[in-house]
Amino acid sequence: MFKLQKIELRNRLIAGFPPSEIQLALEGYVLREDLKVQWQISRFTNPNWLFGLSITFIAIFILIFGFPILLSFSGVVWPVFVGLFLFLIVFWLVYWVVKLVLDKSARDEMGAKQGFLPAELIFSHYPLKVGENDRVTFRRRLKQNFWTNLFKVHHFPANSRLRVSLICMERVTYTKGTDTVTDVATAHENVIFSKTLIAGDREVIGHFDLEIPPHLSPSFEGKNNQIRWILEIEENYPGLIDLKMTYLTFVVDS
Amino acid sequence: MISIELKQTQVSPGQILRGDCYWQTNSDKEFQPATLKIGWRTEGRGNVDKDQFSQKIKLASLVSVPFEYEIPLNGPLSYDGQLIRIIWEVVVQTDQFWFGGEKEEKVFRVVSRLAKP
């Protein structure tokens, strides 16, 4: 599982993953998670899972619609493609309905995904500096909407857990023939916090100390070369969502 | 032959790098136009990123040409990683594109203000 998460992080880094925007609020500097990206790396939309499902679709389609495919060779092409399209849509809808009815964890995750507000990190000062220490607050809130009511996700479980890793990664882009290739490498990785969260009804909070090791490099954003600092956050909400990874990129100054 | 002498081999952002460059020649030329460049570039697997300050200078045989440059506060630190190296350097190159052009480079390190000298 750990290895898979690393691959996800690697893919996100390769895909771009620019340093996050930070906003100054009364409570400090607030860094928010990008939920769109988070949704993309959910296990329901994992690319490997989608690939497997697509292969299954095609296999079933060939079995059921073998005859129309043969017809397509005799000139009746468009009904085959319309049939394929409708079949995929119907299969997809049926799959989701069946999954949500039968699979409680899927219902919980759907409710949580729709009900979660973006994870937030609150820094007392920003950007962080190499060698400096900051007290950081992690916060996740739950909103109340149609989905949270439908799936009865009304509060965070009391024994929710948080695990935070500090990662420094190098990202390079280079030209190989006519292709542009991106590669990443881990320069530093350290688990800095692992603890049970303080759970309220619609909010969980965790506090941890973040120190950027003095011998390491600050963030660097070149056009083709970058050094990026990331907080990888693993959230565990028993009975709601088993595992959730959040990546927040922040800036370290010299 | 061009030679570069730096007063420091290690500076921090905001500090001033000082040095001299010399030119020694056997020709009859009194002056030689050249370009002095100070800045950083990346090295490693990725395509090169760079940022350089450039200035035209006149070299005279055996006469020292002093220079100084304030390392920008937002400039990167020298770095030696797995995929990326960030190199700070002083480059002096004669403005002579045909045979006989000369070039000299001198690398220095830009380190965090926290680093011990």
Q: Is A125 helix (H, G, I), strand (E, B) or coil?
A: coil
Residue of B46, B79, B81 with shortest CB distance to A224: B46
Q: Could you tell me the residue range of the domain that residue B104 belongs to?
A: 2-109
How many other C-beta atoms can be found within 10 angstroms of the C-beta atom of residue A209?
10
pTM over 0.90: no
Nearest Cα to Cα of residue B6 among B59, B50, B58, B68: B68
- Calpha distance A97→A219 (Å, rounded): 45
Q: Is residue B25 part of a domain?
A: yes
Q: Which residue of B has its CA nearest to A213?
A: B114
Name the class of domain A2-33+120-253.
mainly beta
A214-220: average pLDDT: 88
Measure CA of the first residue to CA of the last residue in chain B; give whole Å: 32
Burial of B90 (0-12, 13-18, 19+ CB in 10 A): buried
The answer to whether the beta carbons of residues B57 and B35 sit under 8 Å apart is yes
* Residue A109, number of CB atoms within 10 A of its CB: 22
Is the minimum CB–CB distance between B48 and chain A shorter than 8 Å? Answer: yes
d(CA A196, CA A16): 32
Specify whether the backbone of A222 is left (phi greater than 0), alpha (psi in -120 to 50) or beta: beta
Residue of A nearest to B112 (CA): A254
CB pair distance less than 8 Å for A225 and B81: no
Domain-by-domain residue ranges, chain A? 2-33+120-253
**CA neighbor of A130 nearest in space, from A62, A187, A49:** A187
Distance of CA B12 to the CA centre of its chain: 15
Would an 8 Å CB–CB cutoff place A131 in contact with chain B?
Answer: yes
Contact check, Cβ <8 Å, B42/A214: no
- For residue A250, name the pLDDT band (cuts at 50, 70, 90): confident
Asked whether residue B9 is assigned to any structural domain, the reply reads: yes
Tens of pLDDT along A4-16? 455 566 666 666 6
Q: What domain count does chain B have?
A: 1
Residues of A in contact with B49 (CB under 8 A): 222-225
Of A46-50, A61-65, A247-251, which one has max mean pLDDT? A247-251
Helix (H) or strand (E) holding A199: strand A198-199
B105 DSSP β-pair partners: B91
**Is the per-residue pLDDT at A232 higher than 80?**
yes
pLDDT bucket at B94, cuts 50 / 70 / 90: confident
The top-scoring range by mean pLDDT among A109-118, A243-252, B102-111 is B102-111
A175 touches chain B (CB under 8 A): yes
Give the N- to C-terminal CA distance of chain A in Å, as an integer: 35
Minimum mean pLDDT among A51-65, A107-121, A141-155: which range?
A: A51-65
What pLDDT does residue A65 have? Answer: 67
The tens digit of pLDDT for each residue in A87-132 reads 777 887 888 788 777 777 777 666 666 777 888 889 988 888 888 8
**Residue bearing the bigger pLDDT, A11 or B31:** B31
* Closest residue of chain A to B51, computed from CA coordinates: A222
Residue B17, pLDDT score: 93
Contact B35/B4 with Cβ under 8 angstroms? no
Residue B32 lies in a domain: yes
Report the pLDDT value the prediction gives residue A142, as an integer from 0 to 100: 80
Which residues of chain A lie closer than 8 angstroms to B45, CB-CB?
Answer: 172, 174, 183
Q: Which residues contact A247 (CB under 8 A, 6 or more apart)?
A: A9, A12, A17, A33, A37, A230, A231, A232, A233
Q: Do A254 and B42 touch (CB under 8 A)?
A: no
Is residue B103 included in any domain, yes or no? yes
Give B79's contacts (C-beta < 8 A, 6+ positions apart). A217, A220, A227, B85, B86
Chain B: closest CA distance from residue A174 (Å): 5
Answer yes or no: is B15 within a domain: yes
Contact: A174, B49; criterion CB under 8 Å: no
Any chain B CB within 8 A of the CB of A251?
Answer: no
Is any Cβ of chain B less than 8 angstroms from the Cβ of A60?
no
The region of weakest confidence among A35-39, A202-206, A244-248, B38-42 is A35-39
CATH number at residue B50: 2.60.40.640
DSSP assignments along A59-81, one per residue: HHHHHHSHHHHHHHTTT--HHHH
In chain A, which residues have their Cβ closer than 8 Å to the Cβ of B76?
218, 220, 222
pLDDT of residue A89: 78
Q: 93-112 in B: which are within 8 Å (CB) of A?
A: 112
> Is A214 in Cβ contact with B47 (below 8 Å)?
no
Write down the ipTM of this complex. 0.87
